[in-house]
A and B are shown apart, each in its own frame.
Chain A
Amino acid sequence: MTTPPNDEQKKEPNANDVYLWDATGAPDAEVQRLESLLADFRYSDRSLILPAEVPEVLHRSRGQLLGFPRVRLAAAAVVLLSLTFGAYFLLHRADPEDAGSRWKVSSLEGAPHIGSQAIAAGSSTARFRVGETLVTDSASRASISEFSFGEIRVDPDSRIRLVQSGPDRKRIQLEVGTIHAAIWAPPTQFIVDTPSATAVDLGCRYTLQVAPDGSSTLRTTLGWVGFHLNGRDSFIPAGAMCSTRPEIGPGTPYFEDASPSLKDALIEFDRALPSTDAASRQLDIILKEARARDGLTLWHLLSRTNGPERAQVYARFSALVPPPAGVTRDGILQLDPHMLDLYWNALGLGDISIWRFWEQNSNPHAAPTLQKPILKKQM
C-alpha cells in the first residue's frame, strides 16, 4: 500500500476479478482455495486489553532531548519546582473525594436546601460538596449539574447525598424521592446508590424513584443502565424498567410495552420463592407471553431459575432469539459467563464488556493496575 498504482494500472482489472474483488459473482476456484488455505492465519477472537489508566501522550523526541546536559538541567529544575508545588498542594489540598467537583445546584421551583442553606428560585446556584445532602420538600424541585458530567433533576420530596466527586467517578445516594438523570460522561462513571440497589450509568438518560420503604424503580429512556446488588445484576435498556427491593436487589427487567399478563406474572415471579409452584406458574405465563423483544427478560431469567425451569427458559429464549456462534445449550444451562455475555450482546441492547470492565474496576480488592478485557471481538 505504500506504492499506489498509477492511472494506467488502474485500467487493468476486468470482470474476471469480480470474485476476488468482493466475493460475489462466479467463484474463482484458485482464490477460494487460497482463502481456505490461509484462513488459519486469520486474526483470532482476542479481546483488547487496556491498562486501567491510559498513559499521557508520549513524545518521540523526549528521550533525545534528555541527552543534552542543558535540557537535563532544565528538566531537573522543573522536577524540583514540581516537587515544591506538589508538597504545598498535598498539605493544602481539599478532600480528595471532592477533587474537581463542579456540581452546582439551582432551584427549579420552591426552595430546596443543602444542609441549612436554602436555594431560592431565580437566585444564583449553590455548590454541592461531598458529604452534603440536598433536600427538596413537597413544593420544591432542583437541578444538579456538572459541566463535564451531566445533569440531574430532582423531584419534590427527595433527599440526595453527594458521596464522591472524583475526576473519573461521581457517586450519589438517593435516599428517597425521584431523580431524572441525563449523563454524558463515559459509561460507568456515574453511580447512584439506593437502599435496595446500585444504579450504574452505562451512557444514558433515566428516571430513578426510591420509595420510603427503600424499594426503587428505574426507567431508562436512552442508552442503558446496570442495576446491581450483592452479585445480582439487571440491565435496563431504553424503553425498559426494573424494580428493586431492599436486601433482595434488582428484579427482572422488562420492556414497558410487554403484555400486561407478562408484566403481572413477572412481578409475581420476582416475589415468589425460587422453584416453588407459585414461581413455576408465573414462569409458564411469562414464557407463553414473551415476544422476541422480551429476550431482555428471558436472558435475565436464565440465571434466576434452576434445573428444568432454566431449560424451559432456554428453550423459549433460543426459539425467539437464536443463540450466536460460540453459545451452546449446555453452556447456558451451566451459566457459562462468557456464553451468557455473548448471548446478551446478541440482543443488541448494549455491549456487556463495558459492565464487566466496571465490575473489575469497582472491586475494592482489585489491584489498581489490574488489566481487563474491555471488548470481545464478537459484539
Chain B
Amino acid sequence: MATLLEHYPARSGPAVVNACPGPGDTDDILVRGAQHGDRAAFGILYDRYARMVHGILLSRVPVSVAEDLVQEVFLQALPRVASLRDASHFPGWLAAIARNAANDYYRRAKPALELHDDSGDPETRRRALDIPRSSQCNAESLAVLEAIRSLPDAYRETLVLRLVEGMTGPQIAARTGLTHGSVRVNLHRGMQQLREILSRKASPATGGDL
C-alpha cells in the first residue's frame, strides 16, 4: 500500500496521506507506523511475529513460561522500536530480544529448571518442562520436545518453528531473517539428528519409551 508509505514518510516529518495499517501491509510500513506510535501497526507486527518469538523461546525455556515471555518480549520491543534505524532489521532485532529474554529467564530462575533429565519418567519430564498437570500434552510429545531441545541452537529453533509452530521453511526464513539455504540445512540436519535421538530412545536396549 503505497499510501502508507506516504503516511509514514519519515519519523520526524509531517505526514501527507492517511490510511489504516492492515494485515496486508509490509513489515517496513508497519514498523514505521509503530515508530510513529501507531499501536494498531504494532499489533499487526505482534500477530505476524508472535509464533516466531514463541518458537525461539520454546526452544530455550519451559513450556509454561514461554507464552508469558512472548508478551514480555513485545512489551520490551514497543518502547524501543523507535530506536530501530532500519525497519528491515526488525525480524533479527526482535529475535535477539527473544533470545535475551530467554537468557534473562535463566539468570532469574533456578538451575533445576534446566532441561536435561534422562530419567524417562513422564512425570519427571513434565516437572522439568514445567507443564501443568492439566495440560493435554502426553508423554510422547514431551519426550519429542525434550529431544528437540537437546539439539544445537540453530537446529532446535528451526525445528520448533517448523514442527511446533507449523511454519514452513520460507516463512521461517522471512520471519527470522535467515537465508532459505540456512533454514533448509538447519531443518535437514536438525531432523536427521532428531531421528537419531528418537530412534535411540525407542530402542529397548536403551530403556527408552518411544
Does A20 count as interface, using CB distance less than 8 angstroms? Answer: yes
Known: A202-B20, A222-B18. A5 touches B82 (CB 8 A): no
Whole-angstrom distance between the alpha carbons of A2 and B178 in the complex?
10
Within A5-42, the residues touching B (CB, 8 Å) are 5, 9-10, 12-13, 17, 20-23, 30-31, 34-35, 37-42
From A41, A43, A48, contact of B145 by CB (8 A): A41
From B136, B166, B189, contact of A5 by CB (8 A): B189
Does B185 count as interface, using CB distance less than 8 angstroms? Answer: yes
Does A320 count as interface, using CB distance less than 8 angstroms? Answer: no
Known: A13-B188, A20-B188, A31-B191. A4 touches B182 (CB 8 A): yes
A13 contacts B153, CB within 8 Å? Answer: no
Residue of B nearest to A351 (CB): B40
Q: Contacts of A2 on B, CB cut-off 8 Å?
A: 99, 153-154
B182–chain A nearest beta-carbon distance, Å: 5
Complex interface bits, A105-146 against B, C-beta within 8 A gives 1, otherwise 0? 000000000000000000000000000000000000000000
Whole-angstrom distance between the alpha carbons of A102 and B140 in the complex?
64
Residue of B nearest to A3 (CB): B154
A41 contacts B141, CB within 8 Å? Answer: yes
A57 contacts B185, CB within 8 Å? Answer: no
Complex interface bits, A51-62 against B, C-beta within 8 A gives 1, otherwise 0? 100111110000
B18 contacts A12, CB within 8 Å? Answer: no
Categorize the interface residue count of chain B.
Answer: 35 or more
A21 contacts B141, CB within 8 Å? Answer: no
Whole-angstrom distance between the alpha carbons of A22 and B191 in the complex?
14
Does B95 count as interface, using CB distance less than 8 angstroms? Answer: yes
B55–chain A nearest beta-carbon distance, Å: 8
B43 contacts A43, CB within 8 Å? Answer: no
A35 contacts B186, CB within 8 Å? Answer: no
Q: Contacts of A35 on B, CB cut-off 8 Å?
A: 163, 166
Complex interface bits, A173-206 against B, C-beta within 8 A gives 1, otherwise 0? 0000000001110110000000000000011110
